[in-house]
Amino acid sequence: MVDTFKLFISAANDLPDERELVGHLVTEIPVTLGWQLNLTPMGKNAENKDLILDADYHLIIFGEDIRAPIGYEWHISRSAGRTPLFFIKTNIPRTIAGGDFLRRISRYPSLNSYASLAEFRKLVLTKIAQYIIKYADLFEIKSLELKNVSNFINELEDVEPNLLDNVTGEDSIILTRERFMPKNGVLLQSPDEEPSTKDPSKID
């Protein structure tokens, strides 16, 4: 059983609000999973390969330019046969390098565009929640949790997020009481309900 959802977020320093927001967003999804969030470090020559390859999900948030080490992080994922999800900010000027990079990836299958933080929030939450549903057995999502996540997706609205509350722009680990509170040396599992028996391959 996987108790922690590992998320790697590639985002350069031209997107400070998005960097901070992602750590806040995931706690909205109604699951008992813990979260491990790793972001592109702002220092030079940072080595992220192991974190990227170990992640369950890799988001790339693209702004005005393909700044280092974003291109390197994308190359790591692609070289390993993975398909990171792009979130491309619109209505902003691009550098020449940034525009060239967007043209190169124009036929890439996992491109998502957003113009506001409200759109960004809805897109990111929808994509991550859909992934959790798809791999419900891997994460041992209970039937009630599965229903709650489905309802959560259906009820999502474009709401401008508040960047002043509980945000994080750095690596973080978020644990839940249901799965991670020890009792006599044993981790407690959430609700007394059987795990979902749905076949992840049959979930849209």
Q: Which is it for strands 111-114 and 4-11: parallel, antiparallel or unpaired? A: unpaired
Which single residue is written with the structure tokens 């997706």?
A: 153
Q: With contact defined as beta carbons under 8 Å apart, do 128 and 9 qualify?
A: no
Question: What string of pLDDT tens digits covers the 204 residues of the chain?
Answer: 689 999 999 999 899 999 889 878 898 999 999 999 999 987 655 668 999 999 999 999 999 999 888 999 999 999 999 999 999 999 999 999 999 999 999 989 889 999 999 999 999 999 999 999 999 999 999 999 999 999 999 999 988 887 644 444 567 787 766 665 544 444 434 434 444 444 433 334
Q: How far is CA 132 from CA 68, 107, 128, 140, 175, in A?
A: 30, 26, 6, 10, 17
Q: What is the pLDDT of residue 200?
A: 39
Q: What is the pLDDT of residue 204?
A: 40
Model confidence pTM above 0.85? no
Question: Which SS3 state, helix, strand or coil, does residue 76 take?
Answer: helix
Q: What is the pLDDT of residue 168?
A: 47
The domain in which residue 38 lies consists of: 4-202
Instruction: State how many domains the chain has.
Output: 1
> Between helices 16-25 and 117-134, what is the axis angle to 10°?
40
CATH code of 43's domain? 3.40.50
